[in-house]
Amino acid sequence: MKKITILFIFVGALLAIFLVLGYWHFQHNLSFTCSSSTASFSTHEGNSPFLNFTQNVTFSLKGEALVNISGEIHNEDNIYTINRTIIYDYVRIGSADYKLHAISVTPTGTDDVPAELTQKYLGQIQPGSYRVVNIRQLPSGDMVISNTSGPYIVCAVH
């Protein structure tokens, strides 16, 4: 009888630890999919963006984020097509701050951005790079994703 009681206490303690850790994990990770369009201007002259792209973002509870970017990079008189899939690992480091680590970046489709422009404009999405973003939910349910180097992205949740 004493062995059964000790066994129940042990199993109960393990179950409690498992539930607390699971709750903590899911409270610190995100689960949403959203999309946005971004136009970034290097000057106010000519009203022509140097980056113009759409992105689909999926954050999963298991600490991974998948980002698909497609659009254009304008450099001097050339227009390059960007089509990339980026896989991030992420951890929560503050109340709404998350540290993202780019695990892999895969050019897909018609991506023709030269290596020198990739380094110049897309350094934050290179394999091995880290970035810290702040993610907040608007009353509408959409998400605002921001970082210190801009742009601020309002991401429509679907």
Instruction: Report the predicted TM-score, pTM, of the whole model to 2 decimal places.
Output: 0.76
Strands (DSSP E) found in the chain: 32-40, 51-59, 64-75, 78-92, 97-107, 130-137, 143-146, 153-157
Tell me if residue 113 falls in helix, strand or coil: coil
Provide the token pair at 23: 């709750």
Which domain does 20 fall in, by range?
A: 1-29
> What confidence score (pLDDT) does residue 25 get?
46
> What confidence score (pLDDT) does residue 113 get?
93
Q: Is residue 120 domain-shared with residue 149, that is, in the same domain?
A: yes
Is there a contact between 7 and 130 (Cβ–Cβ < 8 Å)? no
Q: Is residue 113 domain-shared with residue 153, that is, in the same domain?
A: yes
Q: Which residues contact 23 (CB under 8 A, 6 or more apart)?
A: none
Q: Is residue 18 domain-shared with residue 42, that is, in the same domain?
A: no
Mean pLDDT of 66-86: 92
Q: Is residue 55 domain-shared with residue 88, that is, in the same domain?
A: yes
Q: Is residue 7 domain-shared with residue 50, that is, in the same domain?
A: no
Mean pLDDT of 86-98: 92
Distance CA(66)–CA(58), nearest Å, equals: 5
Distance CA(73)–CA(68), nearest Å, equals: 15
Q: What are the backbone dihedrals phi and psi of residue 107, each rounded to the nearest 5 degrees, phi first?
A: -65, 135
Q: Is residue 133 domain-shared with residue 148, that is, in the same domain?
A: yes
Percent of the chain exceeding pLDDT 90 equals 32
Q: Is residue 12 domain-shared with residue 81, that is, in the same domain?
A: no
Average pLDDT score over the chain: 81
CATH, residue 143: 2.40.128
Mean pLDDT of 143-156: 76
102 vs 154, which has greater pLDDT? 102
Q: Using 50, 70 and 90 to split pLDDT, how confident is the model at 117?
A: confident
How many structural domains comprise the chain? 2
Q: Is residue 18 domain-shared with residue 59, that is, in the same domain?
A: no
Mean pLDDT of 56-73: 92
Q: Is residue 66 domain-shared with residue 78, that is, in the same domain?
A: yes
